[in-house]
Structure 1
Amino acid sequence: MERFLAYPLQEIPYVAITLIFAFTFHELAHAYVAYKFGDMTAKNQGRLTLNPIKHLDPFGTILILIAGFGWARPVPVNRFFFKRPRLASILVSVAGPLANLVLAAIGFLIAFGFGRFGILQSVNFYHFLDIFTQLNIVLFVFNLLPLPPLDGYRILEDLAPNHLRAKMTQYEQYGMLIFLILVLIEPLNRVTIQPLFQLIVPWVWNVLGSFIKGLFL
């Protein structure tokens, strides 16, 4: 059975718990920032909540266990209600990945804090924190990729001038197809997605870990 999973079978409970937190806080962050800028759409649809059932996409969650990537239910955002649409939209898009980075920082903080003061000596607990931190960093980096429908593309779209944005919109429908090709086709992901993650994820891990560790020195 393990050969059909992206993670070892014994780690699936840790990954599942992490995804519940990661997806819930990611989408809640989108909804909360949109709400603060005047868009009630997500709130009216019950997305301004910590209830994971409101945020998890069953297929997207299962897929991350099998393929190593997946998604939650996108938060609906209506730019019409924003007084400064571009700025608000950028901040709404940034909020999701930033929530994952904050969760990763919390994982580091608990690990270093508990380890420093000897609060809990459990190999399994620290292994869970390792998975929790790493997976949230992966989601932080993953969601900032400039491919639709990811947050990184939305940020790029809002930063682009109007004439370029119109052209981007024309090809946006092909974004998911391009994304799936880059992720699933083995020769392509080895020279595109994988090197990017192999470079950036360890860098974020080291920078964030060094910062949190410095708090205890």
Structure 2
Amino acid sequence: MTTATTRHSDRRISPVFVGIMAVTAVTGWATWTGFAEQPGVAVFLFVTAAWIVSLCLHEYAHARTALHSGDITVGAKGYLTLNPLKYTHALLSIVLPVLFVIMGGIGLPGGAVFIERGRIQGRWRHSLISAAGPLTNVLFAAVCTAPFWLDALDGVPRDFQYALAFLALLQVTAAILNFLPVPGLDGYGVIEPWLSHNVKRQVEPFAPFGLLFVFALLWLGPVNSVFFDAVDSILSAMGITDLETYCGQDLYRFWQDTSEYCQIGQ
């Protein structure tokens, strides 16, 4: 019923997103066929474009769930077009997450679409809107890892396997970090409707710094080790080895010297 109040143009897929999908497809093909002279360049472009696609889907999931929960304004804001340039903070939603991937190989969550919460009734709906984004990362991770846990890697080029493994790592890290109950992240948005007004008022000033706080914690050796041990355990359960994610990240950083282990793997 709520979708009837949005114009068709508000839900038309943006040419910007179509272009990102095209880059993902072309560079994925180049990674699969070994068309590029430097496979690392193809892997870099493929993983980066696919990561941006996942960011767009993440924000779209928030907006679409909000639409069906009562916020009919998301259409006019362009959130249903999958255009990353329409987000409230394009820098936080796209640019910084990509930089985090390049710098540290971490799928750190970005900014968010602006939801008019006053239009939405019911705590469960508010929680579901917040959970919809990271659940998209979970689904994306399941798709990336499907060839591994389905034991369907016969005929899949080694570089493409490595690229999928690294992309899966980004999705798993994004899902875990997004679900942390830290102000400013989706995990806090899930529990916020169930907190008392007094608690929410005390926590609210820290929301703008939640993302920076998480990023700073990940630079601490012990925290970083515990976090990636958990990520590796999840990926291992999905059939992806440490070597595959390591080589995927190694190929992604094509400007660095390629590891001998990954050269042998090919």
Are 1:103 and 2:140 counterparts? yes
- Partners of 1:178 and 1:107 lie apart in 2 by 29
Aligned counterparts, 1:42-61, within 5 A: 42-54=74-86, 57=91, 58-61=94-97
Aligned length: 195
Tell me the residue number matched to 2:7. none
Letter in 1 for 2:221: R
Tell me the residue number matched to 2:183. 148
Secondary structure of the 1:115 match is coil
Secondary structure of the 2:80 match is coil
Match of 2:117 among 73, 79, 82: 79
Deviation at 1:129, TM superposition (A): 1.4
- The answer on whether the counterparts of 1:141 and 1:197 sit within 8 Å (CA) in structure 2 is no
Match of 1:38 among 52, 60, 70: 70
- The answer on whether the counterparts of 1:26 and 1:96 sit within 8 Å (CA) in structure 2 is yes
Letter in 1 for 2:222: V
Are 1:205 and 2:243 counterparts? no
Letter in 1 for 2:160: F
Task: Show structure 1 runs of 5+ residues with no match.
Answer: 1-8, 211-217
Q: State the 4+ residue runs in structure 1 displaced beyond 6 angstroms.
A: none
Q: Relative to 1, partners in 2 of residues 1:178 and 1:111: Cα closer, same or farther, differing over 3 Å? A: closer
Tell me the residue number matched to 1:190. 221
- The answer on whether the counterparts of 1:94 and 1:151 sit within 8 Å (CA) in structure 2 is yes
Deviation at 1:115, TM superposition (A): 2.3
Letter in 2 for 1:74: A
Deviation at 1:92, TM superposition (A): 0.8
- Partners of 1:177 and 1:104 lie apart in 2 by 24
Deviation at 1:128, TM superposition (A): 1.8
Letter in 1 for 2:96: G
- The answer on whether the counterparts of 2:172 and 2:231 sit within 8 Å (CA) in structure 1 is yes
Match of 1:14 among 38, 46, 51: 46
1:153-189 per-residue CA deviation (whole Å, 9 max, x = no partner) reads 2223223233322222244355355345334xx4xx2
- Partners of 2:119 and 2:215 lie apart in 1 by 32
Are 1:169 and 2:207 counterparts? no
- Partners of 1:105 and 1:208 lie apart in 2 by 8
Letter in 2 for 1:24: C
Secondary structure of the 1:48 match is helix
Q: Relative to 1, partners in 2 of residues 1:181 and 1:137: Cα closer, same or farther, differing over 3 Å? A: closer
Q: Relative to 1, partners in 2 of residues 1:44 and 1:205: Cα closer, same or farther, differing over 3 Å? A: same
Tell me the residue number matched to 2:174. 139
- Partners of 1:146 and 1:196 lie apart in 2 by 17
Q: Relative to 1, partners in 2 of residues 1:173 and 1:51: Cα closer, same or farther, differing over 3 Å? A: closer
Tell me the residue number matched to 2:26. none
Tell me the residue number matched to 1:88. 125
Match of 1:181 among 200, 216, 239: 216
Query: Which of structures 1 and 2 has the bigger CA Rg?
Result: 2
Task: Show structure 2 runs of 5+ residues with no match.
Answer: 1-39, 241-266
- Partners of 2:97 and 2:205 lie apart in 1 by 29
Tell me the residue number matched to 2:164. 129
1:46-86 per-residue CA deviation (whole Å, 9 max, x = no partner) reads 111234444553531442223445544411111111121x2
1:174-217 per-residue CA deviation (whole Å, 9 max, x = no partner) reads 5355345334xx4xx2233x13422321233244459xxxxxxx
CA RMSD in angstroms, aligned pairs only: 2.8
